[in-house]
Structures are given as C-alpha cells and as structure tokens.
Chains A and B, each alone.
Chain A
Amino acid sequence: MYIDPHIHMVSRTTDDYARMAAAGCVAVTEPAFWAGFDRSSAAGFQDYFRQLTESEPRRAAAYGIAHHAWICINPKEAEDHGFAREVMSMIPAFLSRPNVLGVGEIGLNRNSKTELAVFEEHLEIAAQHNSLVLIHTPHLEDKLKGTRLILDAIAAHGKINPARILVDHVEEHTVRMVLDRGMWAGMTLYPDTKCTAARAIDIMEMHGTERIWINSAGDWGHSDPLAVPKAVVSMRARGHTAADIHKISFDNPRAFLSQSENFSVNAPRPTIS
C-alpha cells in the first residue's frame, strides 16, 4: 500500500491508474501544472481546475484510488504577471472543493523577478485560506539558487507554519536546508533530471526519514507513474526495514496531507460520469 503524493494524472492514461492500483496505490495528489504549452486565456485554467476537481477524482475512484488536487498557476506559466493575477483570482473558489488540499505546485522555474512576485502572492492566498502549500523547486542548474530564494521568501512572508509546507524536488544539495527550516521535503523519482531511486535512498540514509516523502511526479514528459513502488522494491533490496519503507511511502505523506481535512486514503464510491 502506498501514496503517490505528486503525480499529474491528467497526463496519464487510464491504464496507468490500473497499473498503479495493482501496485498498491491507494491515494494520489495532483498539483496544478504546466500543460506543455502556454494556455491562451485564463478560461483555460478554469477548465483545467474543473478537470482536477471533478473529472479526475471520478477516473481515479474507478480504480479505488483517492484523488486530491492542488490549485495554482505553475511558475512555468507565471512570467506574465497580469495573466498570472487573473488566474490567481480564480484560486479561492476552488480551494473549497472537496478534493482540494491547498495551493500548489507554486515556486520558481527560472528564478525571475516576476516568478518570485507571483510566488509571494500565492503564499498570501494560502495564508488567507489557511491552506497547505506544495512547492516546486527549479530544475537542474537553477535548483540551488531557486530553493534559497524560495526559502527566503517564505521566511520573509512569515505567515505560514513551516510544518504545513512541502518543498518538492529536493536533491543532495538542497534537502538539508529545507529540513532545517522545519518544512517537509519531497524527493521526485525521475529517470534523468531529478533523483533516481538509488540516490533517493542514499539521501534517506544520510538525512533520515522524518518529514521526507517520495513521489513520481509522473506527467506528460519522461517519467514513470510506478516510480514509487519501484523505489520500494529498491529499498527492500538495499536492506531497509518494512517499517522504514512504509513510513516513507505511506505514513509520511499521510501525516503531512492529513493536515487538510479533505485528505483521505479511502476513495469515494465509483460513479459513472
């Protein structure tokens, strides 16, 4: 039994739901994401948020998987400040939907001034609505600088309990600074650009299993929706105990996500749309 706390199921096939269920997935959480192209209007986000909060939970429930969502404009689409504000104005209405856990995945992509301003405005929305926050840290050479900018912005904002923030996509050079600030850290298991399972297990061995989770961040790109159960197999081969494996793949995500009353590992009864 496991939870994949970060996966973009709108980009995945129904067969992936079937495979994930067969591998033991009981719950997923899906942050709002970049579609691979820039949407031409804010109305496109209205439809996307409906997909995340209406149709995707139904699709997941057919396989006994509880589906949850995070709402935001992703930093990859946040360079146009006016457009971003138009989208952000829609967020509060969706935060009250029954499968929504909070604001995410917000953060930085190329570490620009506008991205940072939009990130700070998202933090304020989360604070006003007492929402959990899921944060995307930048890719590759931008990650170290971006993570520092993000942590500094959170500290300067100061209105959100760090225990209600998860900073995702940490790697060896960023995990410690996130944990030291009292936040949760997510390790994304990607084939090329983030953590392999082997490196994620190394990080757990070096930094412990408190306030850390693993996720697939499976999306429309090169990624694997079964990355979490495959990492579980690797942990077993590396000699880790069943208790530690359960903690990292189930107990920890459940503990963080249960800070929202909307989180449940029990899927709703399947319905026909």
Chain B
Amino acid sequence: MTTPTGKPPLDRKTLIDLGFIEARAKVLDVAAFLDRLDRAPATNVMTDFRVDAIRAALVIALDASPARAERILNSWSDPSTQPVAHADGKAARGAHLPR
C-alpha cells in the first residue's frame, strides 16, 4: 500500500458486514443525545454552538460528496489564522465559537 489508491482492500459488502453494527450504534447515540437535550429542562440559553456544530455535521454526513470526515473536521475548526493574544484556558471545546 505504499502507493495509496484510496480503495480499501475489502469490497463494499464486506465493509458493511464488518462495520454496520458499530455505525448503527453510533448513529443511535447521536440521536439519543439530541433527544436527551430536548427532554432536559430549558435554560435561558436557546442554542449551544457545539450542538449546532453537530447538526451542521449531520448535514455533511448525509450529502453525496466524498471526504465527509475531512469536511466535518474543517467545519468544526477555528477559521482564524493568527495566534491569539493569550490562551483561553487549556482545553479546546470541540467546535469553534461563532464570531
């Protein structure tokens, strides 16, 4: 595999057999997470940028174009290009704050 072809060694049917149950479980987890938020008591915060980022990523996951994972990661990335003046804590949040 020193010259990448982008093609997996296994055919599509075999990959489905191998990965479907795990993918099914992950889809259910995302759906249940969104349901859980709907069931939770409301706060004065109407939306959360992280949840918005997940909803936007789901749209990308459903489109027909390639490189979905890469495009989702790009959509969650800080689009700025210059270093910030000071570190805002040590931990990243998982999606960039809308500016």
* Chain A residues at the B interface, C-beta cutoff of 8 Å: 34, 76, 79, 109-116, 138-145, 148-149, 171-173, 198-199, 202, 204-210, 237-241, 244
Residues of A within 8 A of B77 (CB): 141-145, 173
Residues of A within 8 A of B93 (CB): 140-141
A-B contact pairs, 16 of them (CB 8 A): A34-B90, A76-B90, A110-B92, A111-B83, A114-B86, A114-B87, A139-B92, A140-B93, A145-B77, A145-B80, A171-B73, A198-B22, A202-B8, A239-B9, A239-B10, A239-B14
Contacts known (A172-B70, A199-B69, A209-B1); A149 close to B83, Cβ less than 8 A: yes
B21 contacts A by Cβ under 8 Å: no
Task: Give the number of A-B contacts (CB < 8 Å).
Answer: 108
| Residues of B25-48 contacting chain A, CB below 8 A | none
Contact B92 A112 (CB under 8 A): no
Contact A110 B88 (CB under 8 A): yes
Contact B1 A116 (CB under 8 A): no
* Chain B residues at the A interface, C-beta cutoff of 8 Å: 1-10, 14-15, 18-19, 22, 67, 69-70, 73-74, 76-81, 83-96
Complexed CA–CA distance, A79 and B9 (Å): 46
Complexed CA–CA distance, A199 and B9 (Å): 15
Contact A141 B70 (CB under 8 A): no
Contact A205 B8 (CB under 8 A): yes
Complexed CA–CA distance, A263 and B41 (Å): 56
Contact A205 B6 (CB under 8 A): yes
For the A-B complex with A115-B87, A204-B1 known, give 19 more contacts whose Cβ atoms are closer than 8 Å: A34-B90, A79-B86, A110-B84, A112-B83, A112-B84, A112-B86, A113-B85, A140-B94, A142-B78, A142-B92, A143-B77, A148-B81, A149-B83, A172-B73, A173-B77, A208-B3, A209-B2, A238-B8, A240-B1
Contact A140 B92 (CB under 8 A): yes
* Chain A, interface SS category: helix
Contact A238 B3 (CB under 8 A): no
When C-beta atoms are compared, the residue in chain B nearest to A173 turns out to be B73
Residues of B within 8 A of A199 (CB): 69
CB-based closest 3 A-B pairs: A239-B9, A208-B4, A144-B77
Closest chain-B Cβ to A192's Cβ sits at a distance in Å of 10
Closest chain-B Cβ to A184's Cβ sits at a distance in Å of 15
Residues of A within 8 A of B4 (CB): 204-208
Partner of B83, one of A113, A144, A205, A244: A113
Complexed CA–CA distance, A94 and B15 (Å): 48
Complexed CA–CA distance, A202 and B69 (Å): 10
Complexed CA–CA distance, A240 and B85 (Å): 46
When C-beta atoms are compared, the residue in chain B nearest to A146 turns out to be B78
Closest chain-A Cβ to B84's Cβ sits at a distance in Å of 5
Closest chain-A Cβ to B13's Cβ sits at a distance in Å of 13
